[in-house]
Amino acid sequence: MNFDFAFYLFMGSLISGLIWALDKWYLLPRRQARAEGAEVKEPIIVEYAKSFFPVLAIVFLLRGFIVEPFRIPSGSMLPTLNIGDFILVNKSAYGVRIPVANKLVFGDSKPKRGDVVVFRYPPEPSVDYIKRVIGLPGDKIVYREKVLYVNNEPVSRSFVSQYTGSGEIRANEHLENLTGVKHSILLKPGYISPEGEYTVPAGHYFAMGDNRDNSRDSRVWGTVPDENLVGKAFMIWMNWSDDGIDWKRLGNMID
């Protein structure tokens, strides 16, 4: 169990709801009986509980079962996602999971190759990561000399231009066609990044950053277990960086 923001939301909802229920069904009738018809003053802790419970409960349910916001802290997914992007993640894309415990209770949808997914970082599950799904269970993945192979087939890509966005120097942008999913990646000439051959175990996924030479991903720490999945990223709703708001990124869908 991960003691993260979802856990504290749950505990806040639970405690405020219990205080409200305890007062309504037990303490309030006792106060009214002692007052003998006089006005009964409500304890301040009950006032706060009644105010906070519906808000906390609604946020917890929305965040736990429907959609959750995340902020991109690094450049590992450039040029798809910029540092400072605030994204929305569909929490039910791969089945409905119990918040906090993250246990699947309904649905059996699986990530597709090319999906941008948020998951709990396998070496440290309290940390959320975002990468692109490259390999599905049973796939053979090879990354060598900046070329990606999926099941012995090289993934096609075409040069677009030299990348001019913030956060990277001398990177080239390429359009990659990952078995029908077209998306941009960055490659840095002369830069050596992790290479190797990998077979994806059953119930796991191989994930890589689009910024191929500046991403710690499955090439380094291994595959992502199905139970670590949080959801599918689908939209940028805000971008806030040192330069202020980038209005052009607001509302962009994530490919």
DSSP 89: E
Q: Among 16, 76, 215, 218, which one carries the catalytic annotation?
A: 76
Q: Among 131, 146, 188, 232, which one carries the catalytic annotation?
A: 131
Report d(CA 224, CA 196) in Å as an integer.
17
Active site residue 76: yes
Task: Name 72's Cβ contacts closer than 8 Å, sequence gap at least 6.
Answer: 81, 82, 83, 84, 85, 86, 87, 130
DSSP three-state, residue 3:
coil
Active site residue 51: no
Amino acid identity, position 65: F
Cα 37 → chain centroid: 54
Task: Name 30's Cβ contacts closer than 8 Å, sequence gap at least 6.
Answer: none
**Residues forming the active site:** 76, 131
